[in-house]
């Protein structure tokens, strides 16, 4: 598994998803070499910097992206990786 290079805070965007999904997403990010202490769970990052990692979580995958540009307090990012979040037949996150 490839490591994600980053400096500083990694923003995990949470749009009020269930706790098991967020916890599994953090676990997957750790498998990519991101330290748990460097992950900030937020609905919108405040003052992200160019080069920061932003992770958008969805029920069955997450998009890891790097901030390329900041305009008018908004950021534009480019995808680094898409990670599948697998579940078993009962809907519990696995792997």
In a domain, 5, yes or no: no
Q: Compute the average pLDDT of residues 1-18.
A: 92
Domain of 26, CATH number, reads: 2.40.240
Residue 92 is predicted with a pLDDT of 87
Query: Predicted confidence band at 1 (pLDDT cuts at 50, 70, 90)?
Result: low
Q: Which domain holds residue 36?
A: 10-84
In a domain, 39, yes or no: yes
Note the pLDDT tens digit of each residue in 18-70: 999 999 999 999 999 999 999 999 999 988 999 999 999 999 999 999 999 99
Other beta carbons within 10 Å of 39? 19
Task: Count up the domains in the chain and report the number.
Answer: 1
Residue length of the chain: 95
State the first-to-last Cα distance of the chain, in angstroms, to the nearest integer.
13
In a domain, 48, yes or no: yes
Q: What is the pTM of this model?
A: 0.91
In a domain, 4, yes or no: no
In a domain, 90, yes or no: no
């Amino acid at each position: 598994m490839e490591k994600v290079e980053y400096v500083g805070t990694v923003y995990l965007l949470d749009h009020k998803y269930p706790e098991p999904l967020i916890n599994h997403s953090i676990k997957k990010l750790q498998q990519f070499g991101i330290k748990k202490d460097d992950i900030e769970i937020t609905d919108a990052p405040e003052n992200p910097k160019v080069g920061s990692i932003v992770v958008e979580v969805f029920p069955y995958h997450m998009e890891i992206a790097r901030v390329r540009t900041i305009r008018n307090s908004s950021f534009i990012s480019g995808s680094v990786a898409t990670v599948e979040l697998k579940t078993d037949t009962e809907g519990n996150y696995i792997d």
